[in-house]
Structure 1
Amino acid sequence: MNAPLKRVAVACLVMFALLMINVNYLQAVRADGLRSDSRNVRNFYARYEVERGRITAGDKVLAESVDTGDNQFRFQRRYPGGKVYAPITGFFAPESERDMEAAENKLLNGSSPDLLVRRGLDLISGERTKGASVDLTINPKAQEAAYRALSASGKKGALVAIEPKTGAILAMVSVPTYDPNTLVGPDKDTVNKAYGKLDKNEDKPVIDRAVERSYPPGSTFKVVTLAAYLESDDSVTPQTEVDAPQVLDLPNTSADLPNYGGAACGSGRVTLTFALERSCNTPFAKIAMNLGYDALKEQAEKFGIGGDPLKIPMDVAGSGIGPEEDKAALAQTSIGQRSNQMTPLQMAMVAAGIANNGVVMKPYLVNKIADAEGGEIDAANPTELSTAMSEENAAKLKEMMVSVVNNGTANAAQIPGVTVGGKTGTAETARGKAPHAWFISFAPAEDPKIALALIVESGSAGDDASGGHTAAPIAKSVMEAVLGG
């Protein structure tokens, strides 16, 4: 072969090699980026070609695809659950998806490897590919009762209810909320304007306050401090007496710690039950200073606080008690203030762990997944997350929390014929601003079917907001919805 032909042959081989490298680079490295690029018109149309699977809860359809008859935009999402379930379902928009629509997107749109066999059968039969259906653990009665109660009078806040023995999430409400049906059409400009309006709203209705925001937990955190004390000494009982001064002298600061409203706590020395019933600050702060930061942090971690990030399957914001500082800071941390920040889901896990004899179950939202023909692909498998405390000490703490409802600050949560345990919380936010109102609870205490955490945000319940007056009655309505069948 003469030299010119050799050079042409080498050049052809080099160009062919570069072409193959580029093809593999595009398919293997840049594929996801190109597929999600907003300029990819083919991808935009493809989003509406597939009949996405349903999202259901109990006997209710929360999200489904409707055949529009339009060959270009064949299927459009519809949300019969509307505002009530929006924080859970999220939305499927022209260029994005959110919450459950995002977390289970590959199952819902049929592209998951778990649906490979189903896609093969559809290819052989010539059937149009359909996505899998996702059935949730949500109890519609509890969800709707919580939404009604929380949204009344313009309240802002969130509620999470859990089945203590399994970790199944029974309700997850966030208000204010939004209508996902305004974000589903194929017209990008219309959808973007609708989303822009929601995003600019100062109340941030698209944010799921149940799992995406953390707050100072206030006095609800005292149950974690009390759990640490019980675990430190088996001789501690509900009747153990502790110091409860009206004001606790904190070291290295002139800002001492009073009880709420500056009130006295009994005679200055009270039982643990009395201290929890009245939500006194000083005894729990003194207990924490004696135990030390490490003991409180270790106990918090046993309830899942500050551990590995949670997925339910949506991502959950982190919770934590803050960094180690001095004794004065630890005193504030022990009563749910300072740098202490919790999501409502995390505090529901604390209540559920106490109710479940000290065992914290991993929270989950998906009950089962089925293909388009109803064949089960996957089902929930309840998993133990941690043992927060011994069964004996959990029983002692349950007893004290029942006394809080029967004789203390949470009497508004009483349900006739049902033994309810709970703890109120009033969390300070900023000077001059109203506090957050918290409540955690479980029922029936003998055989818990539900545990929950509820926050009503600062300013949305009035200046006299408190866990007992504001949050406990809302929690009661949700527990009654579950326990009433």
Structure 2
Amino acid sequence: MNPQIRKLTVAMAIMIVSLLVMATYVQFWRAPELSNDARNRRDTYQSWGQDRGPIIVDGTEIALSEKNQAGDRYHRVYPEGPLYAAVTGYSAERIHVSTGLERVAASELDGSSNTFFAQRIKAMFTGKDPQGGAIQLTLNPQMQKAAFAALGDRRGAVVALDVKTGAIKALVSTPSFDPNLLTMEDGKTAQTNLETLQDDPRAPLVNRAISGNRYPPGSVFKIVTAAAALQANDLSPETVIDAPRELQLPGSTATIKNDGGAACGSGTVPFKEAFARSCNTVFAQMSMDLGQAAMQKQAADFGFGEDLATPLAVTPSIFPDTKSAPQLAQSGIGQFEVQVTPMQVALISAAVANQGKMMYPYLIESTADRDLVVRAKTAPRVWKQAISPQVAQQLTNMMVEVVNSGTGKRAAIKGIQVAGKTGTAETGRGGAHAWFTGFAPAGDPRYAVAVIVESEDGKAFHGGQVAAPIAAEVLKAGLR
């Protein structure tokens, strides 16, 4: 063969092989990355109308694809609509919008994930249309329904976790919305429905549980302050400490008072009693004594400031870089610029319940093909050692007293010992949000929960009165 022809043949062969390798790389290995790229509108448009796989909770499909009237395309249907809207989100072909799991798990649902590489190869050779995969969630339907019913139409959220695995057992945000209103075939009506929801002053599209509003935690943050003090070996639950009715803040004319200006016992009480009574003056002074560095570290050990993907994105919670003793005092009782999500608060309780180990939260139990053969399964993993096992046990005992004899009595469940902490978080606008977080059974914990009910019309809601009973209903549903 002529040397020049040989060189040309080799060069062409190399180019053909390179082209095949690159095509395979792009079409299969980089498919999920390109599919999820926000700039890839063509891929997004193409995926709508396909036979996406179902989202399943305990064997029941909570999101699935149905053919349209013409029989040539599919659209998404949500049989229980508002109950799971904070989790599923929606995939609306006619208005080109997707949210929630429909967006972040799109590559699993439409089959473009590497999990389904073999299935895509098979479809190429058989000529069959590719099918999406099914995702099985960790949610407990009884706990989800209990949380949704207990919140009702109030603005708020509930998160419940399996303390030993991190599996999310309930995730509710209210007021909710019906995703079916956005996935109907009539695009004009769907767009009108979307605009109505966007204009609603009660913000039903906001996922309050994980990524919408961050909230001041109020007294539920005293778990973190107490943990910092116990970790520092500064005291024990039995240590008798000063508990004044009012605390003068240094270098300021401002004071901190207990809820309602009440006394905290006789003025000197055991630390565990100050915790059960939720005495503001004690924890404000404690945070100043500990200092910014210790408080910042303990908050970080509980996960503050870090991104989470469950795979739904969780907005990082904030412990502020305080510049003065009064700011630090306010932060120690969950005010000033401390901001949290309900997910973060549930994680704090779950870590206390699990001997200080904080498990990484996750929502997808497994991914399967359309024959329900499991192709991928989430393995629980430890995220952080937030506190020592000894401190976790001390906090557990203190949280039990909150429910037995303190501010959290309405979280009690007959025959089951509950550990918890209430919170009443001032909004700065005259109202107060109601918080409760805790876990049960206290002796052998299974589930942790966080509940927030937002203040409305300037009303001050108290955690022990409003949020604690909701937590009890959710825990009861899981422990039945």
Q: TM-score when scaled to structure 2?
A: 0.90
Aligned to 1:70: 70
Tell me what 1:302 maps to: 301
**Which residue of structure 2 aligns with residue 124 of structure 1?**
125
2:445 is aligned with 1:448: yes
Q: Output the amino acid matched with 1:254.
A: T
Could you tell which deviates more after superposition, 339-348 or 257-266?
Answer: 257-266
SS of equivalent to 1:76: strand
In 2, the alpha carbon distance for the partners of 1:129 and 1:36 equals 23
1:28-49 C-alpha deviation (Å, 9 max, x unpaired): 9xx87999677x6x9746521x
In 1, the alpha carbon distance for the partners of 2:235 and 2:341 equals 29
Q: CA contact under 8 A between 2:115 and 2:376: conserved in structure 1?
A: no
How far apart in 2 are the matches of 1:249 and 1:205? Answer: 41
Q: Report SS of the residue matched to 1:62.
A: strand
Work out whether residues 292 and 321 of structure 2, in 8 Å CA contact, stay in contact via their aligned partners in 1. Answer: no
Q: Which residue of 2 aligns with 1:148?
A: 149
- 1:211 Cα shift? 0.4
| Secondary structure of the corresponding residue to residue 257 of structure 1 | strand
Do the aligned partners of 2:433 and 2:460 also contact (CA within 8 Å) in 1? no
- Rounded Cα–Cα distance in structure 1 between residues aligned with 2:181 and 2:247: 54
Is 1:55–1:135's contact at 8 Å kept on the other side of the alignment? Answer: yes
Residue in 2 that maps onto 1:284:
283
Match of 2:359 in 1: 361
**Take 1:340 and 1:92, find their aligned partners in 2: how far apart are those partners?**
34
**1:401-431: per-residue Cα shift (whole Å, max 9, x none)?**
0000000110001111111000000000024
Aligned twin of 1:467 = 463
Letter in 2 for 1:470: V
The superposition leaves residues 282-332 of structure 1 with CA deviations (integer Å, 9 ceiling, x where unpaired) of 11111111110110110111111113x111101111101112211111000
What SS does the corresponding residue of 1:209 show, helix, strand or coil?
Answer: coil
Which residue does the alignment assign to 2:60?
60
SS at 1:248 equivalent: strand
Bigger mean CA offset, 379-388 vs 339-348: 379-388
CA-CA distance at 1:52 after TM superposition: 0.3
Aligned to 1:251: 250
- 2:216 paired residue number: 216
How many Å separate the matches in 2 of 1:35 and 1:259? 49
Q: Is the 8 A contact 1:146 1:477 kept in 2?
A: yes
Equivalent positions of 1:164-313 (< 5 A) are: 164-212=163-211, 213-233=213-233, 236-307=235-306, 309-313=307-311
Q: Alignment partner of 1:336: what SS?
A: coil
Cα distance in 1 between the residues matched to 2:420 and 2:40 = 49
- 1:192–1:225 distance in 2 versus 1, CA, 3 Å: same
- Mapped to 2, the partners of 1:443 and 1:148 lie a distance apart of 20
Please give the residue correspondences for 1:335-346 in structure 2 after superposition, counting only pairs within 5 Å: 335-346=333-344
The aligned residue for residue 5 of structure 1 is: none
Q: What residue number does 2:136 align with?
A: 135
**Matches of 1:45 and 1:111, distance apart in 2:** 12
Residues 271 and 114 (structure 1 numbering): CA distance in 2 closer, same or farther, change over 3 Å? same
Give the 3-state SS of the residue equivalent to 1:63 in structure 2. Answer: strand
Alpha-carbon separation, structure 2, partners of 1:335 and 1:35? 40
Give the secondary-structure state (helix, strand or coil) at the position aligned to 1:301. helix
Q: Give the structure 2 partner of residue 3 of structure 1.
A: none
Give the aligned residue type for 1:354.
Answer: V
> Partners of 2:331 and 2:102 in 1: how far apart?
37
2:312 aligned residue (305, 311, 314): 314
Question: Residues 172-200 of structure 1: CA distance to partner in whole angstroms, max 9, x if unpaired?
Answer: 00000100001113443222211111001
- State the shift of 1:368 in Å: 0.4
Structure 1 residues 463 and 96, CA, compared in 2 at 3 Å: closer, same or farther?
closer
What secondary structure does 2:448 align onto? Answer: strand
C-alpha distance in 2 between matches for 1:33 and 1:80: 26
What is residue 411 of structure 2 aligned with on the other side? 413
The answer to whether structure 1 residue 159 and structure 2 residue 158 are counterparts is: yes
**Whole-angstrom CA distance in 2 between matches of 1:34 and 1:436:** 38
Structure 2 CA distance for aligned equivalents of residues 33 and 52 of structure 1: 15
- Give the corresponding residue for 2:7: none
- Partners of 1:369 and 1:478 lie apart in 2 by 27
CA distance in 2, matches of 1:80, 1:275: 48
**Pairing 1:347-386 to 2, within 5 Å after superposition:** 347-386=345-384
Cα distance in 2 for partners of 1:142, 1:305 equals: 26
Residue of structure 1 equivalent to 2:6:
none
Q: Percent identity?
A: 41
Look up the equivalent residue of 2:103 and give its one-letter code.
A
Stretches of structure 1 that go unaligned for 5 or more consecutive residues are 1-19
What is the DSSP-based 3-state SS (H/G/I as helix, E as strand, rest coil) of the residue aligned with 2:452?
strand
Measure the CA separation in 1 of the matches of 2:244 and 2:108: 58
Structure 2 counterpart SS, 1:120: helix
Which AA in structure 1 matches 2:249?
L
Superposed CA offset, 1:81-138 (max 9, x none): 2101001000001212101000100110111222121112223333321101111100
C-alpha separation in 2, matches of 1:286 and 1:69: 67
Contact 1:36 1:43 (8 Å CA) reproduced: no
Contact 1:198 1:206 (8 Å CA) reproduced: yes
Q: Could you tell me how far 1:446 is from its partner in structure 2?
A: 1.1
TM norm structure 1: 0.89
More displaced 10-residue stretch of structure 1: 55-64 or 475-484: 55-64
Please give the alpha-carbon distance, in whole angstroms, between the structure 1 residues aligned to 2:155 and 2:163: 26
- Asked if structure 1 preserves the Cα contact closer than 8 Å seen for 2:264 and 2:277, the reply is yes
**SS of corresponding position for 1:345:** helix
> Once superposed, what is the RMSD of the aligned Cα atoms?
2.3
Distance 2:38 2:440 in 1: 49
2:116 corresponds to: 115
Does the aligned pair in 2 maintain the 1:61–1:81 contact within 8 Å? no
Counterpart in 2 of 1:14?
Answer: none
Going from structure 1 to structure 2, the CA distance change for 1:96 and 1:399 (only over 3 Å counts) comes to same
SS of residue paired to 1:321:
coil
Partner amino acid, structure 1, of 2:229: Y
Structure 2 stretches lacking a partner, 5+ long: 1-18
SS of 1:441's equivalent? Answer: strand
Shift of 1:160: 0.3
Deviations 1:139-177 (A, max 9, x none): 0000000000101xx311001000111100000000001
Q: Matched residues in 1 for 2:333 and 2:208: separation?
A: 22
Which residue number in structure 1 is paired with residue 392 of structure 2? 394
Distance in 2 (CA, whole Å) between partners of 1:161 and 1:37 is: 35
Letter in 1 for 2:437: I
* Matches of 1:423 and 1:341, distance apart in 2: 17
Instruction: Give the C-alpha shift of residue 463 in structure 1.
Output: 3.0
Count of matched residue positions in the alignment of Structure 1 and Structure 2: 451
* Partner Cα distance (1:333, 1:32) in 2: 42
Q: Aligned partners of 2:278 and 2:44: how far apart in 1?
A: 57
| Distance in 1 (alpha carbons) for counterparts of 2:38 and 2:55 | 25
